[in-house]
Amino acid sequence: MLRRLQLAQTRRYLGTVVRKAPSVRSTVGVTTSGTPSGSTNTSSDNNAWLNNSSETILSKKKLLGETLGGFTLETNSPVSYTSVSSSDVDWSVSFRGLGSSPFEEKVQAELSKPLSSDDIEVKPDGLVYLPEIKYRRILNKAFGAGGWGLVPRSDTIVTAKLVTREYALICHGQLVSISRGEQDYFNESGIPTATEGCKSNALMRCCKDLGIGSELWDPVFIKEFKKANCVEKFVEHVTTKKKKKIWLKKGREVEYPYK
């Protein structure tokens, strides 16, 4: 029964649909030997179906790289890193420590500290954000340098314009969060830089589960921050000569490609 429940939960994965288990019906009678006639060996039939279905999932599953029309950079798939010792944890697949225990109060206090308005930036379209390096500094203060790390959980998928990969954030030996990072690129020479941007994007998404910079998703805070620290200015694009309104932090100069 447990295996059937687990299989039901994986019925849909990346666009793959797995058929439901066939219902087993039987008409029970009694033979001269005392064995029920017309009975079906439910246990063996179900086990056979489960085995066949598992093979179906593996053979027919549509990988994310195929869905996006891209390819993977790594030669070995799926990602797996062989441990030196059998006691080591393979973080490419393990969920060890997830939700098992809270961190120390001083760690939680560091993670939940309000952000300084000087650290928060605003994009031209008005989106407020915390630069990626600031997330790393907060993690270093909370867990110490070397007390946390990012581990790849999938291959790097490269499409015509996008690089994406899944990462796990490990802090003090326990899994904290899993997120998929993504980064655009414009030509093949930019793929190495895009892979780093993808990693940074995954880190910022993972940090949301630790509560870092949670106010950046609070509509009330966003409105108050922009009112107190930002301004809107009409600018002209240097190349296209198109005029538009953009957001800037107070005291900042308009930068290229606007003037």
- pLDDT, one tens digit per residue, over 154-200 is 999 999 899 999 999 999 999 999 999 999 999 999 999 999 999 99
Domain membership of residue 191 (yes or no) is: yes
CB neighbour list of residue 123: distance below 8 Å, 6 or more residues apart: 129, 247
Q: How many domains does the chain have?
A: 1
Q: What is the pLDDT of residue 47?
A: 53
Domain membership of residue 149 (yes or no) is: yes
The angle formed by the CA atoms of residues 176, 96 and 201, to the nearest 5 degrees, is 30
Asked if 92 and 81 touch (Cβ cutoff 8 Å), the reply is: yes
Q: What is the pLDDT of residue 17?
A: 36
Q: Average pLDDT of 119-135?
A: 94
CATH assignment at residue 112: 3.30.390.80
Question: Which residue range(s) make up the domain with 203?
Answer: 93-229
Domain membership of residue 201 (yes or no) is: yes
The kind and range of the H/E element at 109 are helix 105-111
Extract the runs of DSSP E, i.e. beta strands, from 22-83: 29-30, 36-37, 71-72
Q: How many CA atoms lie within 13 A of 136 on its CB side?
A: 11
Domain membership of residue 143 (yes or no) is: yes
Domain membership of residue 127 (yes or no) is: yes
- For residue 252 the two structure tokens come to 């900042």
Domain membership of residue 194 (yes or no) is: yes
Domain membership of residue 58 (yes or no) is: no
**What integer best gives the mean pLDDT of the chain?**
78
pTM: 0.67
Q: Which residue has the higher pLDDT, 98 or 45?
A: 98
Domain membership of residue 126 (yes or no) is: yes
Q: What is the pLDDT of residue 137?
A: 97
